[in-house]
Amino acid sequence: MQFIGDIYAAKRLLKRPVISLEFFPPKTDEGDKALLEKHIPALMQTRPDFCSVTYGAGGSTREKTLMIVDRIQREHKLTALAHLTCVNHTREQVGELLRKIKDIGCKNILALRGDPPPGSEFQMTPGGFEYSSQLVKFIREQKDFGIGVAGFPEGHVACQEGKLADWQHLKEKVAAGADFVITQLFFDNADYFEFRDHLTTKLGVNVPLVPGVIAIVSAAGIRKFTQLCGAKIPPALGARLDAIGADDAAAAEFGIEYATQQCDALLKAGAPGLHFYTLNKAASTVRVLKNLGLA
Ligand SMILES: Cc1cc2nc3c(=O)[nH]c(=O)nc-3n(C[C@H](O)[C@H](O)[C@H](O)COP(=O)(O)OP(=O)(O)OC[C@H]3O[C@@H](n4cnc5c(N)ncnc54)[C@H](O)[C@@H]3O)c2cc1C
């Protein structure tokens, strides 16, 4: 398995984008089976560069993150990125998790603060971490991992001081030892370009800033999700979604078309890769990658 920073460096030399796919641990055994035996194998045919698996706010899905990471690495011989958050963890517990991550041969961690349960504010666990930059520093001190962090082209939803202050905090995460940044999803590429240009030219950040993208599959679903994560739906996109309404088949077709155009423009403007929020389904992401000639 490789360090993900090395994957970006190698592909950069080849002038090829790095394609990564994100999954979340399902809540049920049927969901596990569908993900592991159907959707991940279907997506593997597109030959991604690495996959990532999210880490839940608590409960049983947390344990599944490493199970899925392990299976991706063993069954598909593909590098995986384990997400890890500060929520409900002391430093000792994080140290124990790092040992487990190392033991299954996973070399890469996406270090995050983590989302609090809906409607509440993040509470630091006594003996834990307040910000992800502290988690990054801790991981760097403990073991030899490749480390990624989250970036927010529209600014993080909880950063009262605005996006420039949030981007300054992102610079601190990179300074603490992150090798690459994966962004929150966004629909207006101008937001990503402003974010990238500010970080690289004004703040001197020179690690890959990788756009996170999604192919919409439901108008109501994407409205709910963007509300939670604080991403905006541009007016023209909102009007199309209103016209599509509850017709999910039409939403998925439109989502593939929109994501294809968005990704094409990002790559033409020099994005180092594309990180797909797959929603644990193969069909739309496979079609977008095929449209781009990247499958
Ligand atoms: C690619 C990606 C993957 C994700 N995967 C998961 C996942 O698997 N599980 C999950 O629960 N969530 C996940 N999230 C969501 C993420 O955990 C939340 O958005 C969370 O609220 C912020 O995480 P962070 O790591 O950016 O936090 P931080 O970097 O700690 O930032 C949190 C807030 O604190 C501010 N801040 C940072 N440092 C300072 C400082 N020194 N002083 C004052 N303010 C500061 C920031 O501006 C921001 O507003 C993911 C997000 C992305 C983009």
Instruction: Count up the domains in the chain and report the number.
Output: 1
Gap between the Cα atoms of 262 and 86, Å rounded: 32
- Tell me, yes or no, whether 68 lies in a domain: yes
Nearest CA to ligand 1 atom 29: 132
Range of the domain at 134: 4-213+271-280
Q: Are 180 and 208 in contact (CB under 8 A)?
A: yes
- Tell me, yes or no, whether 263 lies in a domain: no
- Tell me, yes or no, whether 131 lies in a domain: yes
State in Å: Cα 113 to ligand 1 middle: 5
- Tell me, yes or no, whether 255 lies in a domain: no
Q: Which residues pair with 39 in a beta bridge?
A: none
CB of 184 sitting under 6 A from ligand 1: yes
Question: What local confidence, expressed as pLDDT, does residue 143 receive?
Answer: 72
CA angle, 49 then 52 then 58, to 5°: 175
Question: What local confidence, expressed as pLDDT, does residue 156 receive?
Answer: 95
Question: What local confidence, expressed as pLDDT, does residue 291 receive?
Answer: 98
- Tell me, yes or no, whether 294 lies in a domain: no
Which CB contacts under 8 angstroms, 24+ apart, belong to 169-172? 169/131, 169/133, 170/199, 170/205, 171/199, 171/203, 171/204, 171/205, 172/133
For the CA of 111, the closest atom of ligand 1 is 25
Residue with tokens 């706010």: 57
Structure tokens at 174: 């990179």
Nearest CA to ligand 1 atom 5: 54
Q: Which residues are catalytic?
A: 22
CB of 137 sitting under 6 A from ligand 1: no
CA angle, 176 then 180 then 185, to 5°: 115
- Tell me, yes or no, whether 13 lies in a domain: yes
For the CA of 84, the closest atom of ligand 1 is 8
- 3-class secondary structure, 180: strand
Percent of the chain with pLDDT over 70: 100
- 3-class secondary structure, 148: strand
Minimal CA–CA distance to 233: which of 249, 214, 250?
214
Q: Which residues pair with 51 in a beta bridge?
A: 21, 80
Gap between the Cα atoms of 156 and 165, Å rounded: 9
- Tell me, yes or no, whether 246 lies in a domain: no
- Tell me, yes or no, whether 245 lies in a domain: no
pLDDT tens digits along 56-109? 877 778 889 999 999 999 999 999 999 999 999 999 999 999 999 999 999 999
- Report, as ranges of residue numbers, the positions in the chain whose pLDDT lies below 70: none
Q: Are 216 and 255 in contact (CB under 8 A)?
A: yes
Gap between the Cα atoms of 144 and 158, Å rounded: 31
Question: What local confidence, expressed as pLDDT, does residue 4 receive?
Answer: 98
Q: How many CA atoms lie within 13 A of 222 on its CB side?
A: 29
CATH of the domain at 159: 3.20.20.220
